[in-house]
A and B are shown apart, each in its own frame.
Chain A
Amino acid sequence: MDKQTKPDSVKVGQKPFNKRRFAVRIICAGITFLVLVFSIITLGWFTNSRSNSAGSLEMKAANNGFELAAVGTGGIYDSFLSDREEGTEIKTVTEDSSEITLVSTGGKSEIKWVMNGDSNIVNNSGVSKELGGIAPGSSGTLTFYVIPQQDGALDISFSLDTALYKAENDSLSVIADSDAVNDLAGGHILFFKNKNGNIYSDRIDKSFRFSRDDLKKDVAYKVDIYWIWPGFADQLIMSSGDPLLEEKGERIIADNDETFYVDISENPKRYFRDTTKLVNIQSILDNMKAGSLSAGFNSDAYEEINTQWNEADQYIGVSASYIELILSVG
């Protein structure tokens, strides 16, 4: 009797109804959850499939597993990368069947990229810490290897990102993305997929693809990246053979390669310190392209474009002490 008069008794009276509904909900949630987990695993199995052809219904794996690796030892400035993991040393063969010892990601998501005399950004062992590093006029090659974990095709989209740091009292602080120096470094410290003689091509602007069929499991496939910090704007904008260019150096891009004419015109802030002094950049570029021997050559604009390029170099050098290069997938 007492129970019925107490408010609690009403709750007790409602309990069986709510309990059932709640139980149904839990069961539904559980089934949904299991279906979800199962579907993820199933999809994952498809994605990671090694060879799953089933008659006419062939399913091709979008991307098999792989590791990244490089030859050499730690870079001379790696003490600043102490929070990054070391790679795992492995022995395998290259595409041309020669044996090779590599330092591999070995299942880790990110490791320190090892360097050697042929593959470096002037940070390989043997270079002194004082004299190492890059400056306008520097260039070189960076090499890494892709090691498939299954036979078959790989189509990988690599990101090649940079981060700039300022050194203060032996510690590095990252320079904010919003700082103009990041843009300038992107336009001055250049990466390419190909190099023929002294001519670079296929610029890597933050990303590039590695796409190959018929890869063999555990074979190391070599990928080269060519980097250069051109000393002069002329090397990108003056046509080869121009006397003003030849006074200083060589053009580094094929004459018919429009990559830089387009990007400089669209994003002058990546190349020049004070773009307000280069009004109508497109016409300046056209004028430079026509050459210093042409009748309408604008020597003032030529001087200004070189000055602003050099000021950009100066600004990079004064603002940033270190540059980090991050090769990543995923």
Chain B
Amino acid sequence: MENTQNITKQKNPKLNNKRLRTAAIILTALLAIAIPVAAWFSNQRGMVTLTKIQSPAALSIGAGNKESCAYIDMSGIDVSDKNVTSKEFVFSVYSSVLGNYKIQLAHTTNIPFTYEIYKASACDENGESVENAVVYHSKLDSKDYYYTKGEKITGDYINKQDAVLLADSTQHEATYGEYNNVQKNAEPLYWQNDTAIKAVQNDGEGFVDYYVLKVSWVNGTVKNDKETDMVYITAGMV
């Protein structure tokens, strides 16, 4: 009797297994039903699309003082003063990464201007060279920034006619596609510097190079007659 009672208290492993199996079957059945029911409840619907994120230009063009290119202002060149035959503008090329690059210039030819680009370096406003420096007036802080003009950047037009300041037809399609009703001065000239410029590290934060764009004219050939030209400065890593 004692022996029997003791055994009664012991759990029966076979029966235990059976219970476990039954419980597992029931739970699985519940799960199988619950999943479609839950999905049906939530009325799950969705649509998916994908687009590219364009890589940012590794190079930026800016005004003087590495300010936004929105502040490069070439408007209002006054040609009435016979003693003045040129005007100079400061711009910068900068990036957070180092690399070699080329500068490109594109412009229409309504006004017989000559465009030249010079290397420039920032100079202290209290320094001696300020007198001959090109001034960039910041609209952001209303300060003047001075840049000393260095060597001229050499390069060539890729589509200029030999004797006149007009573009030939070689780049027409790249500019206007199949559209042909284009006035001859609206056909832009494209210029690119010939030797890649090597960027030099600046304060451990990529680089910033300054340039002066010199717009010059021959006395008497240009009038203040509201004529306009479009000028594009671009720079590309090579």
Contacts and interface: CB of A to CB of B under 8 A. Distances in A.
Interface string B29-53: 1100110010111111111111111
Contacts of B30: 33, 36
Contacts of B52: 77, 123, 129, 132-134, 321-322
Contact of A115 (B29, B49, B140): B49
Chain A interface mostly: mixed
Interface string B136-165: 000111000000000000000000000000
A88 interface: no
B50 A81 contact: yes
Given A63-B43, A303-B140, A325 B50 contact: yes
Contacts of A121: 49, 51
A243 B142 CA distance: 13
A277 to B, nearest CB: 12
A77 B50 contact: yes
Interface centre among B42, B44, B50, B70 (most CB of A within 10 A): B50
Contacts of B40: 44
Contacts of A112: 47-49
B45 A68 contact: yes
Contact of A330 (B26, B37, B44): B44
Interface stretch (A5-13, A213-221, A282-290): A5-13
Contact of A22 (B15, B139, B140): B15
B22 A328 contact: no
Interface string B4-45: 100110001001001100100010011001100101111111
Contacts, number: 170
B43 A123 contact: no
Contacts of A108: 45
Chain A interface size, as a band, is 35 or more
A321 B30 CA distance: 43
Given A10-B4, A44-B41, A317-B56, A299 B140 contact: yes
Contact of A110 (B12, B22, B34, B46): B46
A29 B153 CA distance: 89
Given A13-B4, A318-B55, A318-B56, A302 B49 contact: no
A314 B96 contact: yes
B53 A316 contact: yes
Contact of A40 (B8, B37, B55, B140): B37
Interface centre among B30, B33, B46 (most CB of A within 10 A): B46
A118 interface: no
A30 B148 CA distance: 92
Interface of A: 7, 10-11, 13-14, 18, 22, 26, 29, 33, 36-37, 40-41, 44, 47, 63, 65-68, 70, 75, 77-78, 80-81, 84, 87, 105, 108-113, 115, 121-123, 129, 132-136, 142, 144, 164-165, 243-244, 247-248, 299-300, 302-303, 306, 311, 313-314, 316-318, 320-330
11 contacts: A14-B12, A26-B22, A63-B43, A108-B45, A109-B45, A110-B45, A111-B48, A135-B56, A300-B141, A317-B56, A329-B44
